[in-house]
Amino acid sequence: MVGCMRTLRHEFKWRNLGFGGVRAERFCTSHWRMPVLLYFTYRIGIMVYVLYWLDYSSLFSNRKKGGGGWEDGKNSWGDYLTNWTYTLLSIYVTWHVIASIIFHTTAWLFPRPSSAGLLCWGRPSVEFHKGMFVELDNIGGEGSDRYEQMPTDEDEENQGTEGGGGTADVEESLTFAGGHRASDHDLPRPSWYLCLLWLLYSAISGSATFVTVVYFTILYPSSGLYPKLDLENMQVHLLNSCVILLEHLISAIPYRLLHVVYPLLYCLIYMVFSLVLWAKDHQHYMYKILNWNNPGLTIGFILISAFIVIPLLHCLLFLVYKAKSVAKADAAFAEVTGQITPTVSKPADEMVGCKETLRREFKWKNLGFSGVREERFCNPQWRWPVWAYLLYRSLFMLYVLFWLAYSSGSFHNREPTSTYKWYAFLTNWTYAFLAVYATWHLIAAIIYHTLTSVNARRGTGESSCCMRPSEEFHKSLFTELDEEALYERVSGTERGGGGGGSSDRLAASRPPWYLCLLWILYSAVSSGALMVTVVYFLVLFPFSGEFPHVDVVNFQVHAVNSFLVLAEHFISAIPYRLLHVVYPMLYGLLYMLFNLYYWTTDHSNVVYPIIDWNKPGIVVGYIAGIGAVLLPLFHAFFFLQYKIRMALFRGSL
């Protein structure tokens, strides 16, 4: 089972831009061993539903004017990204039905070994369904990736050896409906119509969710439609994403991280189309945020969408895909054995996979701070000398404190007409929070390196502050203390002892209180800073009186803050846990309570137009959207960056 970091290395191989290494059966059957008849009923039902609303939307589009970027009499139905995307969704669901008919007809008329167990209208056999998830790049010998393979009896007999004895049996059945066979040198690819289906699946997934997020966070609140939403708008702006999520839950099509290029290319095509329309008539623009008369706004929106929003949504769907695979593994084992069976039975040979990592991440104990070596909080990821790391920490702190002081000191000079206090803004809260984190991190590092003297460290292999730490010591930092270092284990490091010693170490493995506080600050300020950047430049700045100009202080506290956090995630060795999303949520909740109190003192104290408590509906909607969608997305983004950092670190050993 591929480790989580190895999975990321696998995902970021150039070949994964393509469509090889996957069984054709996965594109035309359900993820859950659904009977073929029921699967076809679902596919046809979804197709009819989507085509009906596409037809309804296009036929009655003339009555839709004035909302969400519509300009009366200037644009046609086909000018809008929403309608482009719903059309693409219609093409996808229709092509999926056609591809399924072609595949199943071919399998019935020309049976192959790979289709044995695929019954005409009933449920596929257990062996067939398990075999679907054996990826075809398993057979390449040394260096091949076991990606989402369902364990078999042969796997358990041969585990602990690379390229185990069951490979030849697997290779015999690796034949596609299109006649391709797996080989060591030619990674097999599904038939062209299935590759096209995969491309449509990837493109529509990211773009449909993108339409939903942008519409309900930017366009709809400022439109004349708010707070009402007609049925047609709900279908093309909201239920489109519901259809996509349903597809991700039911379909067995794999989802690759590098396939993010396909929704990006699709959106790029639309941006070029909108530019061409505008070039013909400079009053012809579909959305206020895509008004080429204001190129700064448009280019900024495109860059943020391309480098932040769409990749974040793609990562979210990738996590849905992985979570679905976790549930599938448990269901398959329960069906075969009558109980949930662990993927790997020998602790000495256990390699925690991506699915296992998700299981471990969502344990209650990971709300806390145990199982991590305290040295990770006060040393960099990359084997710097202590003096270099402390210098970086000092410069980081001084830079943030300087701009915090400058921002607060010059606030009334820059905003002479403002009736609000400097501390009323979430931006300033977050930058102050970043300053507290930077200061506390330096203090914690100094405390640690002062208390841990050279004499006390001599037996651990750690060198003096003027030299780089030894390779053995630095590798040992990333041997986790819980469950015999199965989590983020670095190759070549020694495991802890077995038996009761592991639990004893875990009980005593919580870092000191000042490092736990540092960890909370690190988790909270990361997502908080990115949230400030995205909300400001996507929602607030485009409609402010400052646009398209931004002064240096605004740029520092709204943009550079996120770059500082990203640099911190690349350099620091602090781990990042998914369940620590509760800390940025608590931070956001604390500010909302303050903002509500600030408003109760004077109902004209509306710091942000999207947090206007005189309109509680829009405020509650934004709080729910940010708390339930944006913050978890940003947190998942940093978790993915953390895993990439660990993968790069392991690759550099």
Mean pLDDT, range 231-237, rounded to an integer: 81
Question: Does the pLDDT value for residue 341 go beyond 60?
Answer: no
- Specify the residue for token string 């630095």: 474
Considering the domain architecture, whether residues 216 and 69 belong to the same structural domain is answered as yes
The CA distances from residue 504 to 113, 209, 348, 567, in Å, are 52, 46, 19, 35
Write down which residue in 304, 337, 370 finishes a domain: 337
Mean pLDDT, range 429-444, rounded to an integer: 91
Question: Does the pLDDT value for residue 63 go beyond 60?
Answer: no
Considering the domain architecture, whether residues 332 and 366 belong to the same structural domain is answered as no
| Residue 572 token pair | 């620091």
Q: Higher pLDDT residue, 520 or 363?
A: 520
Instruction: Give the tens place of pLDDT for each residue, 69-95.
Output: 444 446 688 888 999 999 999 999 999
Confidence of residue 465 (pLDDT cuts 50, 70, 90): low
Q: Higher pLDDT residue, 348 or 635?
A: 635
Confidence of residue 486 (pLDDT cuts 50, 70, 90): very low
Q: Which of 32-41, 87-96, 190-199 holds the top average pLDDT?
A: 87-96
Considering the domain architecture, whether residues 325 and 395 belong to the same structural domain is answered as no
The pLDDT of residue 497: 39
| Residue 2 token pair | 């591929």
123-127, 260-264, 312-316 — which is least confidently predicted? 123-127
Question: Does the pLDDT value for residue 456 go beyond 90?
Answer: no
Q: Higher pLDDT residue, 262 or 425?
A: 262
Considering the domain architecture, whether residues 290 and 416 belong to the same structural domain is answered as no
350 located within any domain: no
Residue 33, sorted as left (phi over 0), alpha (psi -120 to 50) or beta, turns out to be left
Considering the domain architecture, whether residues 301 and 371 belong to the same structural domain is answered as no
Phi first, then psi, for residue 611 (nearest 5°) are -125, 60
Question: Does the pLDDT value for residue 407 go beyond 80?
Answer: yes
The pLDDT of residue 352: 44
Considering the domain architecture, whether residues 289 and 367 belong to the same structural domain is answered as no
Question: Does the pLDDT value for residue 28 go beyond 50?
Answer: yes
Mean pLDDT, range 522-541, rounded to an integer: 85
Q: Is 30 strand, coil or helix?
A: strand
| Residue 136 token pair | 């075809």
342 located within any domain: no
Considering the domain architecture, whether residues 304 and 376 belong to the same structural domain is answered as no
CA distance 441 to 300: 33
**DSSP state, 422?**
G
Write down which residue in 320, 337, 354 finishes a domain: 337
288-302, 343-357, 441-455, 466-480 — which is least confidently predicted? 343-357
Considering the domain architecture, whether residues 618 and 516 belong to the same structural domain is answered as yes
- What DSSP string describes 518-581? HHHHHHHHHHHHHHHHHHIIIIIGGGSTTTT---HHHHIIIIIHHHHHHHHHHHB-----GGGG
The pLDDT of residue 226: 56
Buried b (16+ CB within 10 A) or exposed e, 73-86: eebeeebbbbbbbb
448 located within any domain: yes
Considering the domain architecture, whether residues 329 and 371 belong to the same structural domain is answered as no
Mean pLDDT, range 40-63, rounded to an integer: 82
CA distance 621 to 582: 19
Write down which residue in 277, 304, 337 finishes a domain: 337
What sign does the dihedral 568-571-572-577 (CA atoms) show?
positive
344 located within any domain: no
354 located within any domain: no
Considering the domain architecture, whether residues 253 and 396 belong to the same structural domain is answered as no
The pLDDT of residue 343: 38
Q: How far is CA 171 from the centre of its chain?
A: 33
* Domain assignment of residue 19, given as a range: 4-337
Phi first, then psi, for residue 353 (nearest 5°) are -85, 180
What sign does the dihedral 269-199-189-644 (CA atoms) show?
positive
Confidence of residue 5 (pLDDT cuts 50, 70, 90): low
Kindly tell me the burial class for residue 394, based on how many C-beta atoms sit within 10 Å of its own C-beta (0-12, 13-18, 19 or more).
Answer: middle
pLDDT above 90 covers a percentage of the chain that reads 12
Contacts of 368 (CB under 8 A, 6+ apart): 510
377 located within any domain: yes
The pLDDT of residue 651: 61
Considering the domain architecture, whether residues 173 and 33 belong to the same structural domain is answered as yes
Question: Does the pLDDT value for residue 505 go beyond 60?
Answer: no
The pLDDT of residue 267: 92
Mean pLDDT, range 428-444, rounded to an integer: 91
Helices (H), 342-480: 354-361, 386-409, 411-414, 426-451, 454-457, 471-476
22-31, 199-208, 218-227, 456-465 — which is least confidently predicted? 456-465
383 located within any domain: yes
163-172, 292-301, 435-444 — which is least confidently predicted? 163-172
| Residue 317 token pair | 């769907």
Q: What is the mean pLDDT of the chain?
A: 73
Considering the domain architecture, whether residues 403 and 320 belong to the same structural domain is answered as no
Question: Does the pLDDT value for residue 306 go beyond 50?
Answer: yes
CA distance 147 to 133: 8
Question: Does the pLDDT value for residue 593 go beyond 70?
Answer: yes
Question: Does the pLDDT value for residue 310 go beyond 60?
Answer: yes
Q: Higher pLDDT residue, 81 or 540?
A: 81
The pLDDT of residue 61: 59
Question: Does the pLDDT value for residue 298 go beyond 80?
Answer: yes
The pLDDT of residue 87: 94
Instruction: Give the tens place of pLDDT for each residue, 409-421.
Output: 776 666 655 666 7
The pLDDT of residue 14: 82
Instruction: Give the tens place of pLDDT for each residue, 366-386.
Output: 777 777 777 788 888 887 777
Mean pLDDT, range 451-458, rounded to an integer: 55
40-49, 189-198, 258-267, 639-648 — which is least confidently predicted? 639-648
The pLDDT of residue 270: 92
Question: Does the pLDDT value for residue 27 go beyond 50?
Answer: yes
Number of domains comprising the chain: 2
274 located within any domain: yes
Residue 484, sorted as left (phi over 0), alpha (psi -120 to 50) or beta, turns out to be left
Mean pLDDT, range 54-80, rounded to an integer: 63
Confidence of residue 453 (pLDDT cuts 50, 70, 90): low
Residues facing 387 on adjacent strands: none
Nearest to 429 by CA among 402, 407, 452: 407
Q: Higher pLDDT residue, 476 or 331?
A: 476
The pLDDT of residue 327: 61
Kindly tell me the burial class for residue 11, based on how many C-beta atoms sit within 10 Å of its own C-beta (0-12, 13-18, 19 or more).
Answer: buried
